[in-house]
């Protein structure tokens, strides 16, 4: 089969006599048809330069990319925290060089350990990426999801406040909008909690919400690549399922830009561009290998998994209003927030239920907190309710227009 390659542009060919031979494979990022826009590097440098920067979930896709980009802004010390020892080991070898980095193995649900980390390093900027993220798995483990995604976030935020950190950036997900999954509900509750910390606080708390990043752990891209390598079939959930996608590099650069924008109490949403069909993505990936969908590589439709929506929204049109910032791909959200004291009491009760292993009660209490605004007459409610579609054989002709 003929594989698709990208040749250098005309200017590169004129500047280098060997440019014609510098062919490269088309990457999955090329499929987005989207060029990243530059960020205000001076503003980002002012936030990170000569600062102690803590990244939780540093061995994960987003966390590790924040580490890679953060070292370019000359922090005094980068503290990479994760409970994944092997992931930190690999990151240490990748970042080996002059940048000062401390690698810390620890679990964000271990309050004593986290208090020691904050006491030892006194971070000035915290990027909180650590979370359980796999939607179907968390459907069956609500207690674990709450302890990590809610309890861990509460612990870290309070420690950041206690040590007078300058900024605390909470990484959220489009699955927090009208959450239909345990994972999405924990992220929504995390947003609500962080939003209560905005008044009269020396630490500037902010949330950044965005959709899927290509190639991340849990992304469909590595799964599709492995299935194509094995000769198929490629397993697609549903021919009409849509998702927002962005490259990891662009998402992280915009997260850092948002950190420079915040004055405390902000939520930012990244402009993810147009939605893409999961089926379309699979077929394009097959085509990049010079193969033909349904001829060389079969496609099988499995139906949405527990907690999955047919499409995600980046914001709720009923209770979130978007405002422009000076960067065209970072928007600020104005929204109603819960009263902090009542929310905190309910959150503490929720985490207690999770620690006691009371799964059914955990899930009920979680959604009671995550969905108070969502009503059937809310714009977008019907679309977000189209979560569960009966599994079935959708057939090879059930495709989505590109």
Active site (catalytic) residues: 175
Give CA torsion, residues 216, 126, 201, 45, to 10 deg.
-100
Burial class (CB in 10 A: 0-12, 13-18, 19+), 172: buried
215-219, long-range: CB within 8 Å, 24+ apart, which pairs?
Answer: 215/28, 215/29, 215/61, 215/247, 215/248, 216/60, 216/61, 216/62, 216/248, 217/60, 217/61, 217/133, 218/133, 218/134, 219/61
In the numeric block, the tokens 């020691």 are attached to 116
Positive or negative torsion for Cα 224, 225, 227, 228:
positive
163 vs 160: CA distance, rounded Å: 5
Coarse DSSP helix, strand, coil percentages of the chain, rounded to the nearest 5 percent = 40, 20, 40
1 vs 331: CA distance, rounded Å: 44
Residue closest to 215 by CA, chosen among 37, 34, 58, 32: 32
Q: How far is CA 43 from CA 39, 113, 301, 390, in A?
A: 9, 33, 46, 49
**C-beta separation of 133 from 307 below 8 A:** no
- Look up residue 1 and give its two tokens: 């089969």
- Look up residue 90 and give its two tokens: 């690999």
Coil, strand or helix at 327: coil
Residue closest to 127 by CA, chosen among 41, 68, 186: 68
Coil, strand or helix at 88: helix
């Amino acid at each position: 089969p003929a594989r698709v390659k990208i040749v250098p542009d005309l200017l590169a060919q004129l500047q280098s006599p060997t440019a014609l031979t510098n062919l490269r494979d088309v990457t999955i990022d090329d499929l987005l048809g989207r060029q990243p826009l530059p960020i205000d590097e001076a503003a980002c440098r002012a936030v990170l330069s000569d600062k102690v920067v803590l990244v939780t979930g540093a061995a994960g896709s987003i966390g590790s990319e924040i580490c890679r980009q953060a070292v370019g802004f000359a922090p005094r010390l980068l503290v990479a925290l994760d409970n994944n020892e092997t992931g930190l080991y690999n990151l240490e070898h990748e970042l080996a060089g002059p940048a000062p980095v401390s690698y810390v193995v620890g679990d964000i649900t271990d309050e004593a350990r986290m208090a020691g980390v904050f006491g030892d390093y006194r971070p000035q900027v915290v990027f909180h990426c650590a979370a359980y993220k796999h939607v179907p798995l968390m459907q069956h483990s609500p207690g674990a999801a709450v302890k990590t995604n809610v309890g861990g976030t509460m612990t870290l935020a309070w420690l950041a406040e206690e040590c007078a950190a300058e900024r605390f950036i909470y990484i959220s997900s489009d699955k927090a909008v009208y959450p239909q999954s345990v994972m999405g509900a924990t992220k929504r509750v995390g947003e609500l909690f962080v939003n209560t910390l905005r008044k009269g606080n020396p630490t500037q708390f902010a949330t950044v919400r965005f959709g899927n990043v290509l190639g991340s752990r849990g992304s469909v891209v590595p799964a599709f690549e492995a299935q194509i390598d094995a000769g198929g079939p490629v397993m697609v959930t549903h021919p009409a399922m849509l998702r927002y996608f962005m490259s990891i590099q662009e998402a992280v650069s915009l997260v850092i830009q948002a950190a420079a924008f915040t004055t405390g109490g902000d939520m930012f949403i990244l402009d993810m561009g147009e939605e893409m069909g999961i089926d379309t993505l699979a077929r394009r990936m097959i085509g990049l290998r010079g193969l033909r969908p349904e001829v060389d590589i079969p496609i099988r439709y499995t139906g949405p998994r527990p907690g999955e929506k047919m499409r995600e929204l980046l914001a709720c049109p009923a209770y979130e209003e978007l405002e422009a910032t000076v960067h065209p791909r970072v928007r600020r959200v104005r929204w109603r927030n819960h009263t902090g004291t009542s929310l905190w009491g309910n959150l503490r009760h929720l985490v207690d239920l999770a620690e006691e292993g009371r799964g059914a009660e955990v899930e009920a209490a979680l959604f009671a907190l995550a969905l108070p605004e969502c009503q059937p007459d809310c714009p977008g409610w019907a679309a977000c309710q189209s979560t569960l579609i009966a599994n079935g054989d959708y057939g090879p002709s059930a495709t989505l227009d590109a």
